[in-house]
Structure 1
Amino acid sequence: MSRPPWREEYLLRRGLFRRLSTGEPFNEHVFSLAHPRRAYYHVLAAADYLRAGAIADGAAPDPRMAEAIERLRAQRQPDGRWLQGHRLAGRVWFHPDVPTGEPSKWVTLQALRVLTWWDAPADRRPHRPPSPPAVPVRPPRSTSPWFGFIYLV
């Protein structure tokens, strides 16, 4: 997977949620886990991005994510689900998830996906299998004059 490493490094140097200058969270909603997230940032979105990248690269979780992961884990409710964060501003045709403060199946799915990856032992961690080598594909041959016409339509 071709991802610019500076994007990941930018997030990881900040622990996914801190200002580099003060060490404070950079946004009051950084731990408000909302779905759909659209262009909105929260630690779960960043952790899921880094999870997908690590799986694609076959890399282990970066320990600099530990505090963000533990804060994410702390938001888990006694019934095992996570609550919907604040609703995003703007008009929508319909809301695809539950109202603010109710258990969200989408936030729970994403959080469990991240925590399962984080907690997995190295030999059980998901990874992308290597791609098969590229084989040149030769077009089929035909003696029919209509053969080329079929592919042009």
Structure 2
Amino acid sequence: MKNFMDTALELRIKFENNEPLTEDEIKNFLEKSFLLKKLTSDFSDEPLFLVWRVIALSEIPHSNKLEYTQNIIRKILHKMGTAYGFILTGEADYLLPCYNAMLISALCKLGLPENEIVKNGISWIMEYQVFARNKVCNWRGTGIKKYGGCFKTVPCYIGLAKALKALINYNKYHRKNLIQNKIDIGIEYLLKHHLYKRLSNGEPITKHILDIAFPESYNLNIVELLDIVYSAGKINDERVNEAVDYLNSKRQKNGGWKTNYVYKSKGYVSFDARGQIGEWVTYLLEKILSKNK
């Protein structure tokens, strides 16, 4: 591990430990962060840049106080907000469940659970997202059919997991029985797969599902999956144990974890360097695994 911790992570730890901080102290943590300097050093209004950058910023508490973050949010709401939720093209026919869900999660973390478009996206998930096999989705948008098998006989695991994550993040602010019931169904679907295994042969569901990386990208990975079940209060389910065992096998002698993959896309910034012990993934995994006893 490095001899110092980025102040953005220090702020995250204090935030999650409910430590009281003054506005001046928060400002100081934000201003001194090398990570935040990197995240705010460039800008593009291209949709994917906006997606990856807002996701990164949402992982840093109080980053919504930055004008840069507010500018990103305004661009997303203007360019991608629709009556159905968030769509990269802004056209309803091309809604993709994964991107709608990722933006909902990010904006909830950034203080916008009451935003009308966030609520539109949640309504879309509640009405159209399937959390089971052999279930017909009634959504008629053509984008789903054009870009992949989001709702075939076996629903896309990435889209399903990210939609579930969006419901969990939204439900922190709007606890409703219907949403909780949908979360419970989705969590059970993940647990049946032991988070990362195909039901047919026990092999990893996707190429990148066992990657150790942060923050979230299109490629659903084991860190994100564990965070989902942790957030849902299911980290002690016995079907999580194989994922925990896998991560423990990857733990380094000094107790940390190495980032072994960095997603490549304009606007995406890895919080940890590839091939090195990652302070962010190590903090997150230690927090999650400490509850799996």
Scaled to the shorter chain, the TM-score interval is 0.5 to 0.7
- Return 5+ residue gaps in structure 1 as ranges: 120-153
Please give the alpha-carbon distance, in whole angstroms, between the structure 2 residues aligned to 1:97 and 1:44. 13
Q: Please name the residue that 1:102 is paired with.
A: 276
Structure with bigger helix share is 2
Q: Please name the residue that 2:286 is paired with.
A: 112
Shift of 1:17: 0.5
Instruction: Pick from 33, 49, 70 the counterpart of residue 228 of structure 2.
Output: 49
Residues 60, 66 of structure 1: alpha-carbon distance in 2 compared, 3 angstrom cutoff: closer
- AA aligned to 2:248 is R
- AA aligned to 1:30 is I
Q: Report the aligned-residue RMSD.
A: 1.8
2:180 corresponds to 1:6: no
1:39-81 per-position Cα deviation (integer Å, ceiling 9, x unaligned): 3311221111111111xxxx67110111111101111110111
1:95-138 per-position Cα deviation (integer Å, ceiling 9, x unaligned): 3523211111111011101110102xxxxxxxxxxxxxxxxxxx
Residues 17, 6 of structure 1: alpha-carbon distance in 2 compared, 3 angstrom cutoff: same
Residues 73, 25 of structure 1: alpha-carbon distance in 2 compared, 3 angstrom cutoff: same
Residues 81, 13 of structure 1: alpha-carbon distance in 2 compared, 3 angstrom cutoff: same
Using CA pairs below 8 Å that are at least 6 residues apart, which structure has the higher relative contact order? Answer: 1
Please give the alpha-carbon distance, in whole angstroms, between the structure 1 residues aligned to 2:192 and 2:238. 11
Please give the alpha-carbon distance, in whole angstroms, between the structure 1 residues aligned to 2:188 and 2:204. 17
In the alignment, is the contact (CA less than 8 A) between 2:257 and 2:277 conserved in 1? yes
Please give the alpha-carbon distance, in whole angstroms, between the structure 2 residues aligned to 1:60 and 1:66. 9
